[in-house]
A and B are shown apart, each in its own frame.
Chain A
Amino acid sequence: MRKILIAATTAILATGASLFGASAADKLKVGFIYLGPIGDLGWTYQHDIGRQAVIKEFGDKIETTYLENVSEGPDSERSIEQLARAGNKLIFTTSFGYMEPTLKVAKKYPNVHFEHATGYKRDKNLSTYSGRFYEGRYIQGIIAAKMSKSGVLGYIASFPIPEVISGINATMLGAQTINPNIKVKIIWANTWFDPGKEADAAKALIDQGADIIMQHTDSPAAMQVAAERGKLAFGQDSEMIKFGPKAQLTSTMNNWGPYYIQRVKAELDGTWKSEDFWGGLKSKLVVMAPYTNMPDDVKKLAMETEAAITEGKLQPFKCPIVGQDGKEVECKGGTHLDDGQVLGMNFYVKGIDEKIPGK
Chain B
Amino acid sequence: MGLIEAIILAVLAASTPLLLAATGELVTERAGVLNLGVEGMMIVGAACGFGGAWLSGSIIVGALCGIVAGVLMSLIFALMTLGLAVNQVATGLALTILGIGLSGLIGSRFVGEKISLAPHLYVPGLTDIPLIGRILFGEDAFVYLSLALVIGVWFFLYKTRAGLILRAAGDNHASAHALGYPVLRIRMFAVMFGGACAGLAGAYLPLAYTPFFIPGMTAGRGWIALALVVFASWLPGRLVIGAYLFGAVTILQLHAQGWGVGVPSQLMSALPYLATVIVLVLISRARTGGSTAPAALGTVFVPDR
| A residues with CB within 8 A of B | 36-37, 39-41, 69, 154, 185-188, 190-191, 193-201, 203-205, 207-208, 210, 219-221, 224, 228, 242-243, 353-355, 357-358
Contacts and interface: CB of A to CB of B under 8 A. Distances in A.
Interface in B105-149: 107-108, 111-112, 114, 117
B266 A187 contact: no
Contact of B258 (A36, A185, A198, A224): A185
Given A39-B112, A242-B114, A200 B14 contact: yes
A220 B210 CA distance: 9
Contacts of B86: none
Contact of B216 (A37, A197, A224): A37
B219 A197 contact: yes
Interface of B: 3, 6-7, 10, 14, 17, 104, 107-108, 111-112, 114, 117, 205, 209-212, 214-217, 219-221, 250-251, 254-255, 257-260, 262, 264-266, 269
B212 A204 contact: no
A220 B217 CA distance: 12
A357 B264 contact: yes
Contacts of B104: 37, 39, 69
Contacts of A354: 260
B254 A190 contact: no
Contacts of B209: 195-196, 199
Contact of A195 (B3, B214, B260): B214
Given A40-B214, A194-B217, 5 more contacts: A39-B215, A195-B219, A197-B250, A197-B254, A224-B212
Contacts of B107: 39
A353 B214 CA distance: 34
Contact of A208 (B17, B259, B262): B259
B10 A41 contact: no
A62 B167 CA distance: 62
16 contacts: A39-B107, A39-B112, A41-B111, A187-B265, A188-B257, A188-B266, A190-B265, A195-B217, A195-B219, A196-B17, A198-B210, A201-B254, A204-B254, A224-B211, A243-B212, A355-B262
Given A193-B216, A207-B255, A243 B114 contact: yes
B205 A195 contact: yes
Best-surrounded residue of B117, B214, B264 (most CB of chain A within 10 A): B214
A199 B118 CA distance: 16
B108 A39 contact: yes
A190 B257 CA distance: 12
A37 B255 contact: no
A242 B114 CA distance: 8
Given A39-B214, A41-B111, A203 B6 contact: yes
Nearest to A37: B215
B7 A200 contact: no
Given A39-B104, A185-B258, A207-B7, A193 B212 contact: no
Given A37-B215, A195-B217, A208 B255 contact: yes
A205 B255 CA distance: 7
Nearest 6 Cβ contacts at the A-B interface: A39-B111, A194-B219, A204-B254, A37-B215, A188-B265, A207-B6
Contact of B219 (A39, A196, A353): A196
A252 B114 CA distance: 21
A185 B259 CA distance: 8
Contacts of A228: 117
Nearest to B220: A194
Contacts of A353: 260
Nearest to A225: B210
A36 B217 contact: no
A185 B257 CA distance: 8
Best-surrounded residue of B210, B221, B264 (most CB of chain A within 10 A): B210
Contacts of A154: 258
A41 B217 contact: no
Contacts of A41: 111-112, 212, 214
